[in-house]
Amino acid sequence: MSARDLVAGIDIGGTNVKAGIVDVASNEVLASCDFPTIRDSEQAFLESLSAAVAQLAEQVGKPRAAGISIGSYVFADGSIDGMSSFVPFLIHGYPLADRIRDAFGLPVRVDNDARLICLAEARDGAGKGFSRVLTLTLGTGIGVGLCEDGRPFGGEPFIHLAGHVKVRTGGEYPCLDAEPCYCGMQGCFESTCSGTSLQAYVHDRLGADITNRELFERAAADDPAAAEIVEWYLDMLARALNQYVYLYCPDVIVIGGGVAKGLGRYSDKLDALLVAEVYEGQKTVIKITDLKEDSGILGAASLFA
């Protein structure tokens, strides 16, 4: 039996780390684990990553390299900015790739999480077969990634904060606009359509602490108040989608993240709301993700595929 080509994929979040070892040929996660992100000690943080990879390697074999996914801006030299990680020692200029390379004794590449989700979609998800793939991850915030021909677009994740395009004036909804978004504006797409924002809007409108998932279930069961909120949400979402078509001319936009689960039955509606056209006859396709939970691991590992 020939040796398998194994690469570790590690998705570092502000609260949790997901680590796995991927068989590059089949793009399959052979073993994985997750654990809380250690936030109070850099040394303990690096050791927790090494220990996880060592433990997974005992189960399925040693990886030849490690790809790392993180929410920060990632510079070409593998250092990060401090804006999006929310971990105290992961500050601007932190040489994340170098530190993990030293800890693991393996080649390491680091990239932004939204870009790596896009890479996973473009290679093996709903974006497969398309040239220009844009992904929107509607979660706690909104992540944006762009790939061209199976590779991240540009040397660095220049557009990962494109979720802050404006979709409304701002100030219309006190539940969303009590404070300006951290981007400095009111009425941006993230402060309207992220999972967090939708939850705040739902809570305000329905006066009950129902989840986004329950909102979509109620709308599907023809509850008028829920259906009205979903209509509003689709309208706001479409405002951003149309801007992304004019800005990036993607062949496909893949929508993922927690909110995407509820959007599947509205694909036709979103398609109808997407009126932007970059040249006569151009049409961007809208798809909802079908990737599983481990897309962060697969995207990170694919930095070495």
- Residue 154 is classified by DSSP as S
* Joined tokens for residue 303: 């930095």
Cα(62)–Cα(136) distance, integer angstroms: 33
Q: Which residues contact 66 (CB under 8 A, 6 or more apart)?
A: 7, 8, 9, 10, 53, 100, 104, 106, 107, 108, 109, 300
Backbone angles phi, psi at 283, to 5 degrees: -145, 120
Nearer to Zn ion, 79 or 194 (CB): 194
Cα(253)–Cα(212) distance, integer angstroms: 22
How many angstroms from the chain centroid is the CA of residue 233? 19
Nearer to Zn ion, 53 or 176 (CB): 176
Q: At what angle do helices 212-220 and 195-206 cross, to 10 degrees?
A: 60
**Minimum gap (Å) between residue 164 Cβ and Zn ion:** 4
Cα(152)–Cα(31) distance, integer angstroms: 26
CA atoms within 13 A on the CB side of 172: 10
CA atoms within 13 A on the CB side of 295: 23
**Minimum gap (Å) between residue 90 Cβ and Zn ion:** 21
Nearer to Zn ion, 132 or 168 (CB): 168
Count H helices, E strands: the chain? 11, 10
Nearer to Zn ion, 95 or 170 (CB): 170
Nearer to Zn ion, 89 or 182 (CB): 182
Backbone angles phi, psi at 95, to 5 degrees: -80, 70
Positions touching Zn ion (CB under 5 A) are 164, 181, 183, 188, 190
**Minimum gap (Å) between residue 194 Cβ and Zn ion:** 9
**Minimum gap (Å) between residue 169 Cβ and Zn ion:** 14
Nearer to Zn ion, 142 or 260 (CB): 142
Cα(302)–Cα(284) distance, integer angstroms: 26
**Minimum gap (Å) between residue 108 Cβ and Zn ion:** 31
Cα(94)–Cα(97) distance, integer angstroms: 9
Nearer to Zn ion, 11 or 190 (CB): 190
Nearer to Zn ion, 176 or 297 (CB): 176
Backbone angles phi, psi at 226, to 5 degrees: -70, -40
**Minimum gap (Å) between residue 196 Cβ and Zn ion:** 12
**Minimum gap (Å) between residue 183 Cβ and Zn ion:** 3
Cα(189)–Cα(69) distance, integer angstroms: 23
**Minimum gap (Å) between residue 278 Cβ and Zn ion:** 25
